[in-house]
Amino acid sequence: MLESYVTPILMSYVNRYIKNLKPSDLQLSLWGGDVVLSKLELKLDVLEQELKLPFTFLSGHIHELRIHVPWTKLGSEPVVITINTMECILKLKDGIQDDHESCGSNSTNRSSTENAKSSVKPRRIHQAAPTDPDLPPGYVQSLIRRVVNNVNIVINNLILKYVEDDIVLSVNITSAECYTVGELWDRAFMDISATDLVLRKVINFSDCTVCLDKRNASGKIEFYQDPLLYKCSFRTRLHFTYDNLNSKMPSIIKIHTLVESLKLSITDQQLPMFIRIMQLGIALYYGEIGSFKDGEIEDPICHSKDMLGNIAGAEDEARIDMQYAAQYKGQDSYLQQVDEQPQGWVSWAWSFVPAIVSYDDSEEDYLGSDSASTMHQQKAQTLKDPIVSVGFYCTKATVTFKITEMQAESSYYSPQKVKSKEVLCWEQEGTTIEALMMGEPFFDCQIGFVGCRAMCLKAIMGVKDFEENMSRSESEACFFICGDNLSAKGLTYLTNSLFDYRSPENNGTRADFILDEAHHKETYTEIAGMQRFGAFYMDYLYTVENTSGKGSANQQDLSSGKNEDLGTVQEKSTKSLVIGPLDFRLNSSAVHRILKMIVCAFEHEYEPYSRLKPEIKDENAVVLKPEEVTSLEEYIPTRHTSVTLLKCTCTIFMAEFNLLDRLLPVILGEKNSSSFMNISNFQSLRPLPSIQILVDKINLEHSVPMYAEQLVHVVSSLTQPSDNLLHYCYVHCYLKIFGCQAGLTSLDCSGSYCLSVPIIPSFSTALYGKLLKLPTCWTKRSHIVTTEGIFELPNLTIQATRAQTLLLQAIYQSWSHIGNVSSLTVNEGLMNEVFQTIGVKSKNPLPTLEGSIQNLELKYCSTSLVKCASGTMGSIKICAKAPGDNGREKLVPLLQGPSDTKDLHGTKWLNESRKPESLLAPDFIAFTIQVPQYMNYCHNSGDQVHSLNTYLLIARSFLFASS
Quick one: which of 502, 498, 501, 523 has its CA closest to 513? 523
Give first-to-last CA distance, the chain, whole Å. 112
Q: pLDDT value at position 894? A: 86
Report the interhelical angle of 23-32 vs 2-17 (nearest 10°).
130
Distance CA 81, CA 611 (A): 46
Q: Are 883 and 845 in contact (CB under 8 A)?
A: yes
Distance of CA 378 to the CA centre of its chain: 40
Distance of CA 168 to the CA centre of its chain: 24
Taking only the tens place, the pLDDT of each residue in 789-841 is: 999 999 999 999 999 999 999 999 888 875 444 445 678 888 888 887 655 55
Q: Are 393 and 456 in contact (CB under 8 A)?
A: no
Distance CA 557, CA 339 (A): 13
Strands (E), 709-847: 730-747, 757-772, 787-801
Distance CA 434, CA 264 (A): 21
Q: pLDDT value at position 838? A: 55
Quick one: which of 191, 184, 185 has its CA closest to 148? 191
Distance CA 956, CA 285 (A): 51
What's the sign of the alpha-carbon dihedral 145, 149, 150, 154? Answer: positive
Distance of CA 178 to the CA centre of its chain: 30
Distance CA 20, CA 14 (A): 11
Distance of CA 939 to the CA centre of its chain: 50
Q: Is residue 479 classed exposed, middle or buried when 0-12, 13-18 and 19+ CB atoms within 10 A define those classes?
A: buried
Q: pLDDT value at position 822? A: 47
Taking only the tens place, the pLDDT of each residue in 124-165 is: 333 334 444 455 567 777 888 888 889 999 999 999 999 988
Distance CA 541, CA 954 (A): 48
Query: 115-122 long-range contacts, Cβ below 8 Å, gap at least 24?
Result: 115/45, 117/45, 118/45, 118/46, 118/48, 118/49, 119/49, 122/16, 122/43, 122/46
Q: Is residue 363 classed exposed, middle or buried when 0-12, 13-18 and 19+ CB atoms within 10 A define those classes?
A: buried
> 3-state class of 760 per DSSP?
strand
Q: pLDDT value at position 432? A: 96
DSSP state of 217: T
Query: Apex CA 257: angle with CA 397 and CA 264, to 5°?
Result: 25
**Residues pairing with 163 in the sheet:** 168
Transcribe 71-132 into DSSP letters. Answer: GGGTTTS--EEEEEEEEEEEEEPBTTB----SSSGGGG---HHHHHHHTSPPPPPP-PPPP-
| Intervals of the chain under pLDDT 70 | 1-2, 25, 28, 94-137, 290-383, 407-416, 468-471, 547-568, 611-623, 669-683, 818-825, 837-844, 886-887, 900-921, 935-963
Q: What Rg do the C-alpha atoms of the chain give, in angstroms?
A: 34
Distance CA 88, CA 61 (A): 7
